Copies of this chain bind each other. A is one copy, B any other.
Amino acid sequence: MSQGNTDVPAEAHTPQVCTVYDVLNRVSGKWSIGILVEATHGPVRFTELERNVKGISRRMLTLTLRNLERDGLLIRTVYPTVPPRVEYVATDMARELYRSLLELTGWAERHRAAIAAAREAYDRANDHGEPGRA
């Protein structure tokens, strides 16, 4: 989400807004969560992530990893062994975040069907002349 917009909507009349937005910015991105989950389960190596988060490209893995590390959500440890070995593990802060994310998981699970239904209904009601997308 968000482009190069450094200026958040901020001064909206509710302080929470910018905060939530801020968190979402941090966690959003197609791969952040998947990686965070892996790293929360324990230290993982680059290649492991590449395999487990399946679907992610090397590039995006690297980029996401860097951002997560930069925000203090991940700890990157390099072992100067013969074949380079790097491990990533979630920080306590990230683990807490993960727990909050679980709340969202619950919500999503509880309403997954309702949302799907809402979408279908909406699309059906509008797809009359609309070129179907999604």
Contacts and interface: CB of A to CB of B under 8 A. Distances in A.
B115 A52 contact: no
B12 A109 contact: no
How many monomers of this protein are in the complex?
A: 2
Contact of A101 (B11, B20, B112): B20
A16 B97 contact: no
B1 A104 contact: no
Interface residues of A, number: 61
A63 interface: no
A6 interface: yes
A118 interface: yes
Interface string A100-113: 11111111111110
Interface in A77-97: 93, 96-97
Interface string A22-42: 111011111101100100000
Contacts of A14: 37
A93 B106 CA distance: 12
Contacts of A58: none
Contact of A33 (B20, B27, B115, B122): B20
Interface of A: 1-2, 5-7, 9-14, 16-17, 19-24, 26-31, 33-34, 37, 52-56, 69-72, 93, 96-97, 100-112, 114-115, 117-119, 122-123, 134
